[in-house]
C-alpha cells in the first residue's frame, strides 16, 4: 500500500469514478510539475547512455554524433533534438526504442519529426536486415508516404554513420539549451 509522501497532499478517492474536481486539480498540478521537469529527466536518461556498449562508441556518443551531424548540416533546433533523442528509448524500452522515443517527443514536435523517430528503427534495417535473412527494403512498405524520403535521409546521414570513435561531436552540454527549449513548449493537454 502506497503512502502519502511527507507533506504531499493526496486525492480522496480509491477509484477514479469517485474523484472530485479538487482531486483532479491536485493530480493535474502534480502532472504539470512532472512536465516542467521533463527536460531534466531526459538529460539524466541521456547521461545513462554513456555506459558500456558493443559499438565502438557509447550510445551517448552515438546520439551526440547524430545531433552534431544534424546541426552541422543546418537542421533546425527541433530536428537536432530529435536526432539527439532518437535512441532515448533504449533506456526505458529497448525492444521498441523507436516508438518509446517517438511517444516521448510527440507532444513537442512536428508530425514529420515524430514520424521519422517513430519509424527510424525499421528504416535503419536497410543497413543490417539482410544479415538475418530479412528484406533490407522492408521500409519500402512506406514508399510514397510524405515523410519516407526524410526518414531515409535521417538514417543515412544522421544515424547509420554515427558510430565513429574518430568523429568529433559536440558535448551534451551544448545541446542542453535546445532540449530545454523543445520541452518547454506548451503541450496540448493531458490524455
Extents of the domains making up the chain: 38-182
What band does 2 get if pLDDT is binned at 50, 70 and 90? Answer: very low
What band does 190 get if pLDDT is binned at 50, 70 and 90? Answer: low
* Contacts of residue 8, Cβ cutoff 8 Å, sequence gap at least 6: none
pLDDT at 64 over 90: yes
Measured distance CA(147)–CA(18) in Å, rounded: 44
Percent of the chain exceeding pLDDT 90 equals 82
What band does 187 get if pLDDT is binned at 50, 70 and 90? Answer: confident
Quick: pLDDT tens for 128-137: 999 999 999 9
What CATH homologous superfamily does 38-182 map to? Hypothetical protein af1432 (1.10.3210.10)
SS3 string, the chain, reads CCCCCCCCCCCCCCCHHHCCHHHHHHHHHHHHHHHHCHHHHHHHHHHHCCCCCCCCCCHHHHHHHHHHHHHHCCCCHHHHHHHHHCCCHHHHCHHHHHHHHHHHHCCCCCHHHHHHHHHHHHHHHHHCHHHHCCCCCHHHHHCCCCCHHHHHHHHHHHCCCCCCCCCCCCCHHHHHHHHHHHCCCCCCCCC
Look up residue 134 and give its three cell numbers. 530479412
> Comparing 10-14, 141-145, 169-173, which segment has the lowest mean pLDDT?
10-14
pLDDT at 63 over 60: yes
Measured distance CA(173)–CA(67) in Å, rounded: 12
Task: Give me the pLDDT at residue 189, please.
Answer: 61
pLDDT at 116 over 90: yes
Look up residue 17 and give its three cell numbers. 469514478
* Contacts of residue 50, Cβ cutoff 8 Å, sequence gap at least 6: 58, 59, 60, 61
Look up residue 61 and give its three cell numbers. 556518443
Measured distance CA(55)–CA(187) in Å, rounded: 36
Task: Give me the pLDDT at residue 164, please.
Answer: 98
Measured distance CA(15)–CA(51) in Å, rounded: 41
> Comparing 12-16, 44-48, 184-188, which segment has the lowest mean pLDDT?
184-188
pLDDT mean over 95-110 = 96
Amino acid at each position: 500500500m502506497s503512502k502519502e509522501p511527507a507533506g504531499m497532499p493526496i486525492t480522496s478517492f480509491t477509484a477514479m469514478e469517485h474523484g472530485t474536481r479538487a482531486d483532479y486539480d491536485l493530480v493535474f498540478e502534480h502532472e504539470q510539475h512532472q512536465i516542467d521537469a521533463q527536460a531534466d529527466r531526459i538529460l539524466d536518461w541521456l547521461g545513462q547512455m554513456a555506459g558500456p556498449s558493443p559499438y565502438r562508441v557509447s550510445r551517448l556518443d552515438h546520439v551526440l554524433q547524430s545531433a552534431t551531424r544534424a546541426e552541422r548540416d543546418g537542421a533546425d533546433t527541433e530536428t537536432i533534438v530529435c536526432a539527439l533523442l532518437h535512441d532515448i528509448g533504449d533506456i526505458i524500452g529497448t525492444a521498441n526504442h523507436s516508438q518509446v522515443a517517438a511517444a516521448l517527443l510527440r507532444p513537442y514536435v512536428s508530425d514529420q519529426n515524430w514520424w521519422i523517430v517513430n519509424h527510424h528503427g525499421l528504416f535503419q534495417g536497410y543497413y543490417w536486415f539482410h544479415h538475418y535473412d530479412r528484406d533490407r527494403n522492408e521500409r519500402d512498405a512506406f514508399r510514397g508516404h510524405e515523410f519516407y524520403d526524410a526518414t531515409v535521409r535521417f538514417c543515412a546521414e544522421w544515424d547509420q554513420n554515427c558510430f565513429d570513435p574518430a568523429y568529433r561531436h559536440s558535448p551534451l552540454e551544448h545541446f542542453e539549451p535546445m532540449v530545454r527549449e523543445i520541452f518547454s513548449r506548451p503541450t496540448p493537454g493531458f490524455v
